Amino acid sequence: MTLLKTVFAAALSVFLPASLAWAEMPDAAKSLFEAKSVAERNTALSTLEAAAAEDPASAYAAGAGEFFTALQFLAGGLHRHGFESPKSFMLPLMQLPVPDNPNPEPLTYEEFRAILVAFRDRLEKSAATLGSVPANADIGMVVDLTRAGIDLNEDGAIAPDESFAAIMAALSRNGGAPDAAVSLTFRFDRADGYWLQGYAEFLMAQADFWLAHDFRAMFDGSFHMLFPRAKLPLQDTLVPPDSGMNGNIFTSEWRFADFISLVHLINWPVVEPERRQAARRHLLEMIRLSREDWKAILAETDNDREWLPGPQQKGVNPLTGLEVGQEQVQAWLATLTMAEDLLEGRTLLPHFRITGKGVNMKRFFDEPKPFDLVLSITGPGIAPYLESGRILTSDDFDQIERQFGGAGFLTFALWFN
């Protein structure tokens, strides 16, 4: 697997739920992860949710099911309104391979916010369910990612081309069937529940940050780039008659122009300050869960189709093509400490044009002011949060990055959470 494919495959891990072994999981959990229809999946999920309070395995399966139904809700909302992926790493959450919709419904700003709210609230439910699983629960369950998936086009079916393996193939090779030579069967254990719960917190942080602000101007002025036939305000003026949707935003002249508009229009007034404060709490909880994840991984003595192996579990991971060593684990734990110090304001974020002061990220979230991306990059937008104190240096990060080796920090970070 090339480095580019590794990065794409690791990036998809943002969207993959933990799952359970057929031999040890409740029958409803098997039905959940092998379902061929949304109705079948939802029936199984309801059964698991009813049993979750008394059975850790049911809670684990239910939390995973709630996670990927959140993703399905997001994908379905995008499909309903004729979403066209920008195919750019700069918009990672907008890379789901949503099928083409020849007859999309109109989309309004209020409806788009409603999609984000429902997505975020379902993730919160998933995190709570996964958090109810006892730390010492004996979880060891196996799933084949070619058999589990989500309904991307709202037709009620979960087809083979909507499996997680197919979605990974679409992201890593721009389409095509999954590589049959690579096994995508994994055995998920208690540690992987922390991993998935952490990703739910990460995605909630992103959703809450958006929802904390009024981004209507950006939506009205640029989102026809993503929904070219959803009757947005500038569709008739700026979208070519044939839509011209090919490749990513950097190979489409009109989409690239709209991407520049999008960046320029990220000047968002704060409308729900408590959500921006919540975003920081979600990120801190993600850090806590990642530590719990690695504590559990390092205590494992088996080596059976690991989703995220520890240094003691030798072998190249079939998803990423990487092997985890002690150096990477220590570097990741140091990264978590660095991130926590930034979010708690103990360490300040440097700015390229300001010396002697840094950005207090705790105050950035907890004392929200209008968010202007360009002015934050150039300086005026972050001036209210500047303080004197310990400032993160490039040497701090370079030392950590060196320990991740040739594959690079980003690949491991997307995988590790």
Walk along the chain (417 residues) and give the pLDDT tens digit of each residue: 443 344 334 444 444 443 333 335 788 989 999 999 999 999 999 999 999 999 999 999 999 999 999 999 999 999 999 998 876 555 655 667 888 898 999 999 999 999 999 999 999 999 999 999 999 999 977 888 889 999 999 999 999 999 988 887 777 654 444 555 567 888 899 999 999 999 999 999 999 999 999 999 999 999 999 999 999 999 999 998 876 555 567 778 888 899 999 999 999 999 999 999 999 999 999 999 999 999 999 999 988 888 999 999 998 888 778 889 899 999 999 999 999 999 999 999 999 999 999 999 999 999 999 999 999 999 999 999 999 999 999 888 888 888 777 667 777 888 887
In a domain, residue 267? The reply is no
Q: What is the reported pLDDT for 15? A: 42
* Cα distance from N-terminal residue to C-terminal residue, the chain: 21
In a domain, residue 64? The reply is yes
Q: How many residues does the chain have?
A: 417
In a domain, residue 318? The reply is no
Q: Classify 329 as helix, strand or coil.
A: helix
**Tokens in use for 315?**
């072998």
In a domain, residue 296? The reply is no
Beta bridge partners of 306: 187
Indicate if the alpha-carbon torsion angle 52, 55, 58, 63 is positive or negative.
Answer: positive
What would the pLDDT profile of 114-169 be if each residue is shown by its tens digit?
999 999 999 999 999 999 999 999 997 788 888 999 999 999 999 999 998 888 77
The Cα 82–Cα 98 span in angstroms is 9
Instruction: Using DSSP bridges, classify how beta strands 386-387 and 354-359 pair: parallel, antiparallel or unpaired.
Output: antiparallel
In a domain, residue 119? The reply is yes
Q: What is the reported pLDDT for 135? A: 95
Q: Decide: 52 and 129 in contact? Cβ < 8 Å.
A: yes
In a domain, residue 298? The reply is no
DSSP letter at 348?
B
Q: What is the reported pLDDT for 408? A: 75
Q: Who's near 189: CB < 8 A, 6+ residues apart?
A: 139, 140, 141, 296, 300
In a domain, residue 387? The reply is no
Beta bridge partners of 387: 358
* Residue 36 backbone dihedrals phi, psi, to 5 degrees: -100, -5
pTM of the full predicted structure? 0.89
Q: Decide: 216 and 271 in contact? Cβ < 8 Å.
A: no
The share of the chain scoring above pLDDT 90, in percent, equals: 65
In a domain, residue 223? The reply is no
Is residue 388 left, alpha or beta, with left meaning phi > 0 and alpha meaning psi from -120 to 50? beta
Q: What is the reported pLDDT for 296? A: 94
What would the pLDDT profile of 266-310 be if each residue is shown by its tens digit?
999 999 999 999 999 999 999 999 999 999 999 999 888 889 999
Is 83 exposed, middle or buried, given 0-12, 13-18 or 19+ CB atoms closer than 10 A?
A: buried
* Residue 289 backbone dihedrals phi, psi, to 5 degrees: -70, -35
Q: How many domains does the chain have?
A: 1
**Domain carrying residue 15:** 3-213
